[in-house]
Every structure is written in C-alpha cells, then in structure tokens.
Chains A and B, each alone.
Chain A
Amino acid sequence: MLIQKTIKEIIILVAVSVALALAVNTLSPKGIGLVGQWDTAKGVITANPAGDAAGRLEEIDSVARAKDLFDKGDVLFVDARSQNHYGNGHIPGAVSLPVGQFEKRIDFFLNRYPPEQPIVTYCSGRTCEDSHELAQLLSDLGFTNVRIFIDGFPGWEAEGYPIE
C-alpha cells in the first residue's frame, strides 16, 4: 500500500532528524538544554539556564533597587541596546554601549572609566540577554563591580521614573 509505505518513510525521515538533532545538540558546544527558562516571572528568559554566561554576576531583579542605585549616583548605567533604542529614550546619564558594537566602542569606554567603576547594565527587560552578555564582556575586561538590571528600560519606564 502506497499510504503505508509513505507513512513508514515519513517515520524514518522524522526519526533520523530527531536522532541527528539530539546528537548534534548534545555534542555541540552551542547546544541547549531540552527545557529552557521561559518564564519572565522567574527572571530573564534563556534557552540555556545552566550555561548562562552571566551566572556569576549579580542580577538586580527589582526596579526599586535599581532606582536606589540610581539615586545614590555613583553607579554608571550602561545601555546594551541598539543606538536607535537608546536614542528613543534611556535611563538618565546612561552610556550607550550596544553589545553588537562592543569591539568598536570599547576603547572609548575603557579610556573614560576605571576598572573599579560600579556598573549596572540593562537592555529591553527580561526577554533580552544583551545586558548579560555586555556585563560578562565588561567583567572579562577587568571591571570588578558589574551588575545587571534585568527589568531593563521597559521596567524603568513602566514605574514612571525619569528618562531622557
């Protein structure tokens, strides 16, 4: 029967695909876990909670705490989003350092800020990992006090805090 033959073939093709997918995913250094962290209530979403690059860096998970740091004034907010987003509105005094242009702009940044400068990175909230990547990059370069404000600009704006 043609239908049975077709079903058998489809099962073979799908089985090969699944086997190959799982094998490659397991062996590849870029592979992800079988279940990710996709609940924004629990923190930043990521396909790979175990392999989270910024696992060692401190996360600021409340907007009020970020505001406290902002009010103290000695913390430098660094915006990991694109320049477009930054231009449309950012936390007052924040410096733009899009993670996609990190290499191009980091020299300027290094010349201006000492390694002990307290830094808080942020991006577009809990559905974006750019602030984590940026924090990791800065930490790798020797910045000793880097934290991540995970609710990012949308969280800040929603609280009605000042923007510029």
Chain B
Amino acid sequence: MCGFLLTDFRAGKPKGIQLNNRAQFIKNNSWVELAGRWILGLTFIYASYHKIISPADFAKIVYGYDLFPAMFINLIAIVIPFLELVAGFALIIGLYPRSAAIIINALLLAFVTVLAINLIRGHEFDCGCFSTGQSGYASSPELTLVRDVIYFVFGMQIFLFEGNRRSCFGRLISPH
C-alpha cells in the first residue's frame, strides 16, 4: 500500500537552493510528500464542494471581497471551485503533482492576498473558504492566514521534492 512510483526520476541532481541536512531530509521525504498531497488534495476538494453546489452564494462572497470588476465576478465564482477540485484531485491521484501544487499554491497566494487586503483596510467580509453560509466566517481571518501559510509550505515541498513519489493507487499516469 502506498508504495513507490518507479517512473519518477528527474534528470540532473542537486541544483537550486542549498539546504541544511534536516531541511534536505524533509524536502525529499516521500512520506511527507504523500501526506502533503493528501492533505492539500482532500482540503481543496472539500473546499470546492459548497462553492460548486451554490455558485450564486459564492459569487456574492466574491462580490463581498470588493476587489474584482463586476464583469468577472461570475466567471471567478464559476471557475475557481473547479480549479480547486481538479488540482486537489490531481494531487491525490498523483497526476502532474508539481503542476497541481503550483496551481494550489497560486490559489493560496491569491486567497491570502485577498484576505490580507481586506483585513488591512478593515473591510467586513465573509472569507467563504469552506462554506457559503450566511453566518460569516467560521474562523478568524488571522487563523485563516496562518492555515494558508501551512498549506503553502506543503505545496512547496510537493513542488521541490526530488525522488520517487509514493502512490496509493498503483501506477500513475504522469507522476512528475
């Protein structure tokens, strides 16, 4: 169960940032990589669910951020949840994991930016992260920021990981 994918060798060895031994160990730890993909994957699939079943409510949350031109609000509300769903699903099954991690981290960066801007200007808003309910945010925006940073670190590890990735589904289509 959750063995190695033997197809995942990247040409050319150590390049990029030099890390100390412990960081190197974490960066290339295949269990951390697997856990990260599942944590991010499940989180993003879960987060997409409410937005997909009630796009009108999510559109109103996007409007509430007060950052996007009216023309694009609906498009954002239609597409973002499916980006979360597809990238999350790709991470779990190990399809294009590096690219899926880039998409996830780009989304996280966007969420953090939107949250931070509204936090700084004291704009009252609903983060809409995991639900589209009317009750306002379930957790504080500060907590959401910390959580997003942790997700981002997992995403970076998946992106930087060099070696054989693990899979719980046997052979994968494209493990890079």
Contacts and interface: CB of A to CB of B under 8 A. Distances in A.
B40 interface: no
Contacts of B99: 6, 9-10, 13
A38 B90 contact: no
A24 B82 contact: yes
A47 B56 contact: yes
Greatest chain A CB density within 10 A among B54, B74, B103 is at: B74
B74 A34 contact: yes
B90 A36 contact: no
A32 B71 contact: no
Contacts of A22: 78
Interface in A15-31: 16-18, 20-22, 24-25, 28, 30-31
A144 B154 CA distance: 57
A18 B79 contact: yes
Contact of B70 (A12, A32, A39, A129): A39
Nearest to A31: B55
Given A10-B102, A100-B134, A30 B78 contact: no
B22 interface: no
A32 B78 CA distance: 8
Interface in B93-142: 96, 98-100, 102-103, 134
B176 interface: yes
A20 B53 CA distance: 14
Contacts of A55: none
A47 B60 contact: yes
Contacts of A34: 74-75, 78
Nearest to B82: A21
A5 B99 CA distance: 9
Contacts of A35: 70-71, 74-75
B73 interface: yes
Contacts of B34: none
Nearest to B69: A38
Interface in A56-90: none
A32 B102 contact: no
B10 A12 contact: no
A163 interface: no
A6 B73 contact: no
Contacts of B82: 17-18, 20-21, 24
Interface of A: 2, 5-6, 9-10, 12-14, 16-18, 20-22, 24-25, 28, 30-36, 38-39, 45-48, 100, 127, 129
